[in-house]
Amino acid sequence: MRALITGASGGIGAEFAKLHASKGHDLILTARSADKLEKLAQELRQLYAIEVVVLPQDLGEPNGAKALFDAISKQGLEISVLINNAGFGDFGAFADAPWDKTATMIQLNVNELVQLTYLVLPQMLARKQGYILNLGSVASFLPGPMMTVYYATKAFVLSFSEGLAEEVRGQGVHVSVLCPGPTASDFQARSRMNESKLLEGPFANMPSSAEVAKYGYEQLFKKKRVSIHGTANKLMISLTKLLPTTWKAKMMAKIQVARQ
């Protein structure tokens, strides 16, 4: 049961790869960093005697997903599990953000995920077997001042995943979305979340990437559609569902302000 994992060079993506390999399953790993991918691949090959194919690709580029899928098809590889993990955020006012960075975020968090799913799904449906895991966030449920576009992309991922899960129900393919809170990984540095007071408040004690990946992986194969990691996150999302959107936006604006 070969899995394709995007954003597999570190963090949650690398932990997904380790989990899948530990079950004796083959892998296709992709991310921008060829060196990091190959190092992880070598480790997994030695530990578990599995096949690990490394295909470096910048999925933030237009048609990056198509280029990746073409490379996979050229090798005649079958994908049974797709884990759409690649993505990034950016802290700061929307009006002040470089447009190129914002456009790349939308491309990676939304377009790439949808296109890669679109390319892989028909083969899964034809075989009547497959698993797709998309990485959402607790941000999927909230408006996010100072990370407005990131939160919006994750809201899209949640809606897309839930809709698609129902669309393919009963056809042998399961779609799941994992929604963690802030997680100990390099995501915080890349997204500049360390500049926000968010990590000093309710999300100060972050779980490890390994904890989040393990939970999401287990929920995927239990065929859970929406998986929110952490009791506190589940409680917060349940409570905020009762609030008007304007209140939630004001609440997040207070929580997610820049450090002085």
Domain spanning 3-255 has what CATH number?
A: 3.40.50.720
pTM value? 0.91
Taking only the tens place, the pLDDT of each residue in 199-236 is 565 556 788 999 999 999 999 999 999 999 989 899 98
**Average pLDDT of the segment spanning 184-203:** 58
pLDDT value for 240: 87
Asked if 215 is an active-site residue, the reply is no
Choosing from 150, 151, 215, 217, the catalytic residue is 150
Mean pLDDT of all residues in 103-120: 97
Asked if the model's pLDDT at residue 190 lies above 70, the reply is no
Domain ranges, ordered by start, for the chain: 3-255
Contact indicator for 37, 9 with CB cutoff of 8 Å: yes
Concatenated DSSP letters of the chain: --EEEESTTSHHHHHHHHHHHHTT--EEEE-S-HHHHHHHHHHHHHHH---EEE----TTSTTHHHHHHHHHHHTT---SEEEE-------S-GGGS-HHHHHHHHIIIIIIHHHHHHHHHHHHHHHT-EEEEEE--GGGGS--TTSHHHHHHHHHHHHHHHHHHHHTTTTTEEEEEEE--S-BSTHHHHHTGGGBGGGGTTTSSPPBHHHHHHHHHHHHHTT-SEEE-SHHHHHHHHHHTTS-HHHHHHHHHHHTPBP-
Asked which of 124-128, 176-180, 244-248 is least confident by mean pLDDT, the reply is 244-248
